[in-house]
Protein backbone atom coordinates (compact mmCIF):
# COMPACT_ATOMS: atom_id res chain seq x y z
CA UNK A 1 0.00 0.00 0.00
CA UNK A 2 2.82 2.41 0.87
CA UNK A 3 4.47 1.97 -2.53
CA UNK A 4 1.18 2.70 -4.29
CA UNK A 5 0.92 6.28 -2.98
CA UNK A 6 1.75 8.58 -5.91
CA UNK A 7 0.89 11.97 -4.37
CA UNK A 8 3.48 14.59 -5.29
CA UNK A 9 5.22 12.50 -7.93
CA UNK A 10 6.16 13.96 -11.30
CA UNK A 11 6.21 11.85 -14.46
CA UNK A 12 8.26 13.47 -17.26
CA UNK A 13 6.63 13.51 -20.66
CA UNK A 14 5.91 15.54 -23.78
CA UNK A 15 2.13 15.57 -23.78
CA UNK A 16 -0.14 18.58 -24.23
CA UNK A 17 -0.61 18.87 -20.47
CA UNK A 18 3.12 18.68 -19.82
CA UNK A 19 3.71 21.62 -22.18
CA UNK A 20 1.01 23.83 -20.70
CA UNK A 21 1.89 26.79 -18.50
CA UNK A 22 1.84 25.63 -14.85
CA UNK A 23 -0.08 28.76 -13.84
CA UNK A 24 -2.86 27.82 -16.23
CA UNK A 25 -2.86 24.24 -14.95
CA UNK A 26 -3.28 25.42 -11.35
CA UNK A 27 -6.18 27.67 -12.32
CA UNK A 28 -7.81 24.97 -14.43
CA UNK A 29 -7.49 22.52 -11.54
CA UNK A 30 -9.49 25.00 -9.46
CA UNK A 31 -12.09 25.26 -12.24
CA UNK A 32 -12.24 21.47 -12.41
CA UNK A 33 -12.96 21.27 -8.65
CA UNK A 34 -15.72 23.88 -9.07
CA UNK A 35 -17.08 21.82 -11.97
CA UNK A 36 -17.39 18.70 -9.82
CA UNK A 37 -19.04 20.49 -6.91
CA UNK A 38 -21.36 22.44 -9.23
CA UNK A 39 -22.86 19.19 -10.53
CA UNK A 40 -26.22 18.67 -8.84
CA UNK A 41 -26.96 15.22 -10.19
CA UNK A 42 -25.41 12.17 -11.76
CA UNK A 43 -26.00 13.67 -15.21
CA UNK A 44 -23.85 16.72 -14.44
CA UNK A 45 -21.25 14.52 -12.80
CA UNK A 46 -21.06 12.48 -16.02
CA UNK A 47 -19.67 15.60 -17.71
CA UNK A 48 -16.97 15.76 -15.02
CA UNK A 49 -16.17 12.08 -15.60
CA UNK A 50 -15.81 12.70 -19.32
CA UNK A 51 -13.49 15.64 -18.66
CA UNK A 52 -11.32 13.57 -16.26
CA UNK A 53 -10.96 10.68 -18.71
CA UNK A 54 -10.22 13.03 -21.62
CA UNK A 55 -7.58 14.92 -19.58
CA UNK A 56 -5.88 11.62 -18.67
CA UNK A 57 -5.79 10.60 -22.32
CA UNK A 58 -4.22 13.96 -23.28
CA UNK A 59 -1.64 13.67 -20.49
CA UNK A 60 -0.44 10.24 -21.72
CA UNK A 61 -0.09 9.14 -18.10
CA UNK A 62 -0.56 5.33 -17.81
CA UNK A 63 -4.04 4.45 -16.59
CA UNK A 64 -2.51 2.17 -13.94
CA UNK A 65 -1.31 5.34 -12.21
CA UNK A 66 -4.94 6.30 -11.76
CA UNK A 67 -5.50 3.06 -9.88
CA UNK A 68 -2.43 3.67 -7.72
CA UNK A 69 -3.59 7.17 -6.83
CA UNK A 70 -6.95 5.75 -5.72
CA UNK A 71 -5.68 2.89 -3.52
CA UNK A 72 -4.81 5.05 -0.48
CA UNK A 73 -8.29 6.62 -0.42
CA UNK A 74 -10.26 3.36 -0.69
CA UNK A 75 -11.07 3.38 3.09
CA UNK A 76 -12.33 6.98 2.82
CA UNK A 77 -14.46 6.12 -0.22
CA UNK A 78 -15.96 3.09 1.52
CA UNK A 79 -16.64 5.07 4.71
CA UNK A 80 -18.34 7.86 2.72
CA UNK A 81 -20.42 5.35 0.78
CA UNK A 82 -21.60 3.55 3.93
CA UNK A 83 -22.51 6.81 5.69
CA UNK A 84 -24.64 8.01 2.77
CA UNK A 85 -26.08 4.55 2.18
CA UNK A 86 -27.53 3.99 5.63
CA UNK A 87 -27.95 7.48 7.10
CA UNK A 88 -30.07 8.93 4.30
CA UNK A 89 -33.63 7.79 5.01
CA UNK A 90 -35.60 9.72 2.42
CA UNK A 91 -36.99 8.19 -0.75
CA UNK A 92 -38.39 4.76 -1.54
CA UNK A 93 -37.47 2.09 1.03
CA UNK A 94 -35.81 -0.87 -0.70
CA UNK A 95 -34.77 -2.91 2.35
CA UNK A 96 -35.30 -2.56 6.07
CA UNK A 97 -34.10 -4.50 9.12
CA UNK A 98 -34.72 -3.18 12.64
CA UNK A 99 -33.13 0.32 12.70
CA UNK A 100 -31.26 -0.14 9.40
CA UNK A 101 -33.04 1.23 6.37
CA UNK A 102 -31.83 1.21 2.75
CA UNK A 103 -33.51 3.77 0.49
CA UNK A 104 -33.27 4.75 -3.16
CA UNK A 105 -32.05 8.25 -2.24
CA UNK A 106 -29.35 6.69 -0.06
CA UNK A 107 -28.06 4.56 -2.95
CA UNK A 108 -28.14 7.50 -5.39
CA UNK A 109 -26.35 9.85 -3.00
CA UNK A 110 -23.78 7.21 -2.07
CA UNK A 111 -22.97 6.52 -5.73
CA UNK A 112 -22.85 10.25 -6.47
CA UNK A 113 -20.40 11.01 -3.63
CA UNK A 114 -18.11 8.07 -4.46
CA UNK A 115 -17.85 9.09 -8.12
CA UNK A 116 -17.21 12.71 -7.14
CA UNK A 117 -14.35 11.77 -4.78
CA UNK A 118 -12.76 9.47 -7.37
CA UNK A 119 -12.91 12.15 -10.08
CA UNK A 120 -11.57 14.76 -7.65
CA UNK A 121 -8.51 12.67 -6.75
CA UNK A 122 -7.77 11.52 -10.31
CA UNK A 123 -8.19 14.96 -11.87
CA UNK A 124 -6.24 16.83 -9.20
CA UNK A 125 -3.39 14.31 -9.38
CA UNK A 126 -2.75 15.35 -12.97
CA UNK A 127 -1.38 18.67 -11.72
CA UNK A 128 1.61 17.06 -9.97
CA UNK A 129 1.90 14.23 -12.51
CA UNK A 130 2.51 16.70 -15.36
CA UNK A 131 4.25 19.60 -13.53
CA UNK A 132 7.78 19.54 -12.13
CA UNK A 133 8.30 20.89 -8.57
CA UNK A 134 10.36 23.84 -9.89
CA UNK A 135 7.65 24.88 -12.34
CA UNK A 136 5.03 24.44 -9.63
CA UNK A 137 6.98 26.74 -7.28
CA UNK A 138 7.32 29.44 -9.94
CA UNK A 139 3.65 29.18 -10.85
CA UNK A 140 2.43 29.47 -7.26
CA UNK A 141 4.74 32.44 -6.66
CA UNK A 142 3.54 34.21 -9.81
CA UNK A 143 -0.13 33.64 -8.95
CA UNK A 144 0.34 34.91 -5.39
CA UNK A 145 2.59 37.82 -6.39
CA UNK A 146 -0.13 40.50 -5.82
CA UNK A 147 0.04 39.61 -2.10
CA UNK A 148 3.59 41.00 -1.98
CA UNK A 149 2.07 44.47 -1.79
CA UNK A 150 0.74 43.66 1.69
CA UNK A 151 4.10 42.20 2.79
CA UNK A 152 3.11 38.54 2.45
CA UNK A 153 6.24 36.32 2.00
CA UNK A 154 4.99 34.84 -1.26
CA UNK A 155 8.24 33.22 -2.35
CA UNK A 156 8.77 31.54 1.01
CA UNK A 157 5.19 30.22 1.05
CA UNK A 158 5.51 28.84 -2.48
CA UNK A 159 8.84 27.23 -1.64
CA UNK A 160 7.46 25.59 1.52
CA UNK A 161 4.41 24.23 -0.29
CA UNK A 162 6.51 22.77 -3.09
CA UNK A 163 9.14 21.27 -0.78
CA UNK A 164 6.37 19.65 1.29
CA UNK A 165 4.83 18.21 -1.87
CA UNK A 166 8.22 17.12 -3.21
CA UNK A 167 9.15 15.24 -0.04
CA UNK A 168 5.96 13.17 0.13
CA UNK A 169 7.42 10.43 -2.17
CA UNK A 170 10.72 10.57 -0.25
CA UNK A 171 9.01 10.06 3.11
CA UNK A 172 6.85 7.29 1.66
CA UNK A 173 9.97 5.49 0.45
CA UNK A 174 11.61 6.04 3.85
CA UNK A 175 8.54 4.63 5.62
CA UNK A 176 8.56 1.55 3.42
CA UNK A 177 12.26 0.92 4.18
CA UNK A 178 11.73 1.31 7.95
CA UNK A 179 8.70 -1.01 7.94
CA UNK A 180 10.61 -3.63 5.94
CA UNK A 181 13.52 -3.41 8.39
CA UNK A 182 11.19 -3.76 11.39
CA UNK A 183 9.44 -6.77 9.84
CA UNK A 184 12.82 -8.38 9.16
CA UNK A 185 13.50 -8.07 12.88
CA UNK A 186 10.27 -9.87 13.73
CA UNK A 187 7.88 -6.95 14.20
CA UNK A 188 4.21 -7.84 13.60
CA UNK A 189 2.27 -4.87 12.17
CA UNK A 190 -0.60 -6.64 10.44
CA UNK A 191 -2.30 -8.73 13.13
CA UNK A 192 -3.91 -7.93 16.46
CA UNK A 193 -6.37 -5.28 17.60
CA UNK A 194 -6.37 -1.65 16.48
CA UNK A 195 -4.55 -0.66 19.68
CA UNK A 196 -1.87 -3.30 19.09
CA UNK A 197 -1.41 -2.14 15.50
CA UNK A 198 -1.06 1.45 16.71
CA UNK A 199 1.60 0.43 19.24
CA UNK A 200 3.44 -1.51 16.52
CA UNK A 201 3.77 1.73 14.53
CA UNK A 202 5.78 3.47 17.26
CA UNK A 203 9.07 1.81 16.15
CA UNK A 204 8.29 3.15 12.66
CA UNK A 205 7.31 6.71 13.58
CA UNK A 206 10.39 7.52 15.67
CA UNK A 207 12.96 6.63 12.94
CA UNK A 208 10.71 8.39 10.42
CA UNK A 209 10.81 11.63 12.41
CA UNK A 210 14.59 11.32 12.74
CA UNK A 211 14.93 10.74 8.98
CA UNK A 212 12.65 13.72 8.26
CA UNK A 213 14.79 16.07 10.33
CA UNK A 214 17.92 14.66 8.68
CA UNK A 215 16.51 15.31 5.20
CA UNK A 216 15.49 18.83 6.23
CA UNK A 217 18.96 19.58 7.58
CA UNK A 218 20.63 18.24 4.43
CA UNK A 219 18.34 20.31 2.24
CA UNK A 220 18.97 23.47 4.28
CA UNK A 221 22.74 22.90 4.07
CA UNK A 222 22.57 22.34 0.32
CA UNK A 223 20.56 25.54 -0.16
CA UNK A 224 23.02 27.53 1.97
CA UNK A 225 25.99 26.15 0.00
CA UNK A 226 24.29 27.43 -3.16
CA UNK A 227 23.92 30.91 -1.60
CA UNK A 228 20.14 30.71 -1.45
CA UNK A 229 18.69 33.80 0.29
CA UNK A 230 15.02 33.66 -0.60
CA UNK A 231 13.18 35.41 -3.40
CA UNK A 232 14.96 38.77 -3.22
CA UNK A 233 17.02 39.34 -6.37
CA UNK A 234 16.34 35.82 -7.59
CA UNK A 235 16.37 35.20 -11.34
CA UNK A 236 14.89 32.28 -13.27
CA UNK A 237 16.55 30.20 -15.93
CA UNK A 238 13.16 29.29 -17.42
CA UNK A 239 10.59 32.03 -17.91
CA UNK A 240 6.92 31.10 -17.81
CA UNK A 241 5.11 32.01 -21.02
CA UNK A 242 1.60 31.22 -22.14
CA UNK A 243 1.08 29.59 -25.53
CA UNK A 244 -1.83 28.75 -27.79
CA UNK A 245 -2.17 25.35 -26.10
CA UNK A 246 -2.94 27.12 -22.81
CA UNK A 247 -5.76 29.04 -24.47
CA UNK A 248 -7.15 25.85 -25.98
CA UNK A 249 -6.92 24.15 -22.59
CA UNK A 250 -8.81 27.00 -20.91
CA UNK A 251 -11.46 26.90 -23.64
CA UNK A 252 -11.71 23.12 -23.33
CA UNK A 253 -12.24 23.34 -19.56
CA UNK A 254 -14.70 26.21 -19.97
CA UNK A 255 -16.80 24.18 -22.38
CA UNK A 256 -17.10 21.34 -19.88
CA UNK A 257 -17.95 23.75 -17.04
CA UNK A 258 -20.67 25.27 -19.24
CA UNK A 259 -21.84 21.73 -20.02
CA UNK A 260 -22.29 21.02 -16.30
CA UNK A 261 -24.32 24.22 -15.87
CA UNK A 262 -26.51 23.39 -18.86
CA UNK A 263 -27.08 19.81 -17.67
CA UNK A 264 -28.00 21.10 -14.20
CA UNK A 265 -30.53 23.44 -15.78
CA UNK A 266 -32.03 20.77 -18.04
CA UNK A 267 -32.29 17.99 -15.46
CA UNK A 268 -32.88 20.45 -12.60
Note the pLDDT tens digit of each residue in 150-201: 888 888 888 787 787 777 777 878 888 888 887 787 777 677 677 777 777 7
Of all residues in the chain, the percent with pLDDT exceeding 70 is 93
Q: What is the mean pLDDT of the chain?
A: 82
> What pLDDT is stored for residue 3 in this prediction?
53
In this prediction, residue 256 carries a pLDDT of 92
User: Greater confidence, 188 or 34?
Assistant: 34
**pTM (predicted TM-score):** 0.76
pLDDT over 80 at 50, yes or no: yes
Q: How far apart are the C-alpha atoms of 3 and 8, rounded to whole Å?
A: 13
- In this prediction, residue 61 carries a pLDDT of 84
Does residue 105 contact residue 88 with C-beta atoms inside 8 Å? yes
| pLDDT of residue 8 exceeding 70 | no
Residue 32 pLDDT greater than 90, yes or no: yes
By mean pLDDT, which of 36-40, 113-117, 119-123, 180-184 is the weakest?
A: 180-184
258 confidence band (pLDDT: 50, 70, 90): very high
Greater confidence, 23 or 173? 23
Q: What is the pLDDT of residue 28?
A: 92
How confident is residue 31, by pLDDT bands cut at 50, 70 and 90?
Answer: very high
Amino acid sequence: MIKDITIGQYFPGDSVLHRMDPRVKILLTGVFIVMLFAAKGIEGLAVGILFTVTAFLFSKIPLKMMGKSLKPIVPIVIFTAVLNLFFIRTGKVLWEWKMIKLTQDGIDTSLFMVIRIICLICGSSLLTYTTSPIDLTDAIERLLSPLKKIKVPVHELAMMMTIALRFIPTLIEETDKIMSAQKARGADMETGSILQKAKALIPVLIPLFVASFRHAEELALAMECRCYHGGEGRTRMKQLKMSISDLWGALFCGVFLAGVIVVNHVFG
